[in-house]
Structure 1
Amino acid sequence: MPATVPLARTKAEIFDDLVLDTVESLERRYAKELAGVEFAVEDVPPELNVYDSDVLEDGEVPLARLLPGRPGRQELPPRIVLYRRPLEFRAMDREDLADLVHDVIIEQVANLLGVDPDELS
Structure 2
Amino acid sequence: MSIDHHSGPTGARGRARQGRRSRDRHGRGLRGALLPADLPGARTRAEQFDQLVLDAVAELERRWPTELGGFEFAVDEVPPVGADGDALPSDDVVADGPVPLARAVPAGVDSRGRPTKPRIVIYRRPLEVRSADPADLADLVVEVINEQVGSALGRDPEEPPDA
Return the TM-score normalized by structure 1: 0.89
Considering only CA atoms, is the larger Rg found in Structure 1 or Structure 2? Answer: 2
The 4+ residue runs of structure 1 with deviation greater than 6 A are none
Give the equivalent residue in structure 1 for 2:61. 27
Q: 1:31 is paired with a residue of what secondary structure?
A: coil
Return the TM-score normalized by structure 2: 0.67
Give the equivalent residue in structure 2 for 1:11. 45
Q: What is the CA–CA distance in structure 1 between the aligned matches of 2:35 and 2:101, rounded to whole Å? A: 35
Q: Structure 1: which 5+ residue stretches go unaligned?
A: none
Give the equivalent residue in structure 1 for 2:106. 68
Q: What is the CA–CA distance in structure 2 between the aligned matches of 1:5 and 1:110, rounded to whole Å? A: 40
Q: 2:159 is paired with a residue of what secondary structure?
A: helix
Q: 1:46 is paired with a residue of what secondary structure?
A: coil
User: Do structure 1's residue 79 and structure 2's residue 119 form an aligned pair?
Assistant: yes
Query: How many residue pairs get matched?
Result: 118
Root-mean-square deviation (Å): 1.9
Select the structure that is richer in helix. 1
Give the deviation of 1:92 after TM superposition: 0.2
Give the equivalent residue in structure 2 for 1:41. 75
Deviation by residue 1:41-70 (Cα, 9 ceiling, x = unmatched): 000000135411101110110000001212
Q: 1:32 is paired with a residue of what secondary structure?
A: coil
Higher RCO, 1 or 2 (CA under 8 Å, sep at least 6)?
1
